[in-house]
């Protein structure tokens, strides 16, 4: 697992991975994993500067360290930094479980064709995420500019710092309602921290929690023998 973006959501990745392995295998089983957690302040500065080349290089190097440490499956514990997924994939020989692909599969399995997307401004406004969802046959709606600013601010100023407030939850509920009014049949929670704030109870349509979807796909891929010991989840 390559995490730290932010550590708040990475902690949820770790918790879910261990919980899901225990549910699958029972007893005292837990996830056999390697976790590399980067300093999010450095990554955020590169994001803000638009220096995606340096950000990609930093994460590619960290991913190579995970492979050297014995990982045979890579999970990038962030939505936004899937912008540099191709750089990471080029740096390792192990497979990357791509968050957008497994999320799109979940939406398609639910029989939906139009989804609203919440995430950082980078995720909502750039094509690396929306375009990949569209490549799976989905129509993607994002909030209007004012609402996008609210979603982004809450992520960086509150959720990444472990601050969860009812006011922010209410703002997100209102934004979701406006997406539904525009035709969204479901809502992709396209930032790992959003799941700390919003759940299915906050939406009149199905939500797709990308962290859980991502971890479930990774655990499924990592458990080579569903009735035997964990081969790896790293």
> Among all residues, which ones are annotated catalytic?
78, 191
Question: Which residue, 138, 137, 145, is CA-closest to 115?
Answer: 138
The residue with tokens 């859980």 is 212
Q: Please tell me the number of Cα atoms within 13 Å of 42 on its side-chain side.
A: 10
What is the rounded distance in angstroms from the CA atom of residue 97 to the CA atom of residue 85?
A: 10
Assigned token pair, 198: 């919003």
Helix or strand run (H / E) with residue 115:
strand 114-118
Q: Which SS3 state, helix, strand or coil, does residue 74 take?
A: strand
Assigned token pair, 34: 């390697």
What is the rounded distance in angstroms from the CA atom of residue 114 to the CA atom of residue 97?
A: 23
What is the rounded distance in angstroms from the CA atom of residue 178 to the CA atom of residue 199?
A: 17
> Would you say 20 and 215 are in contact if contact means Cβ atoms under 8 Å apart?
yes
What is the rounded distance in angstroms from the CA atom of residue 79 to the CA atom of residue 75?
A: 11
């Amino acid at each position: 697992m390559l995490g730290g973006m932010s550590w708040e959501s990475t902690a949820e990745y770790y918790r879910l991975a261990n919980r899901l392995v225990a549910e699958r295998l029972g007893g005292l089983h837990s996830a056999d994993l390697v976790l590399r957690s980067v300093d999010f302040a450095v990554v955020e500065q590169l994001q803000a500067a638009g220096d995606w080349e340096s950000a990609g290089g930093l994460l590619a190097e960290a991913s190579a360290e995970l492979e050297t440490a014995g990982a045979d499956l890579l999970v990038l514990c962030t939505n936004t930094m899937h912008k540099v997924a191709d750089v990471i994939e080029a740096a390792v020989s192990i497979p990357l479980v791509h968050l957008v692909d497994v999320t799109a599969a979940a939406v398609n399995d639910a029989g939906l064709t139009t989804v609203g997307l919440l995430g950082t401004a980078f995720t909502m406004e750039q094509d690396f995420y929306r375009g990949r969802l569209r490549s799976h046959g989905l129509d993607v709606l994002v909030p209007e500019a004012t609402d996008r600013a609210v979603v982004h601010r809450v992520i960086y100023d509150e959720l990444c710092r472990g601050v969860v407030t009812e006011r922010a939850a209410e703002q997100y509920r209102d934004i979701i309602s406006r997406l539904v009014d525009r035709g969204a049949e479901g809502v992709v929670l396209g930032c790992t921290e959003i799941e700390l704030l919003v759940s299915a109870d906050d939406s009149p349509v199905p939500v797709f929690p990308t962290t859980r979807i991502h971890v479930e796909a990774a655990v499924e891929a990592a458990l080579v023998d569903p009735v035997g010991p964990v081969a790896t989840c790293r």
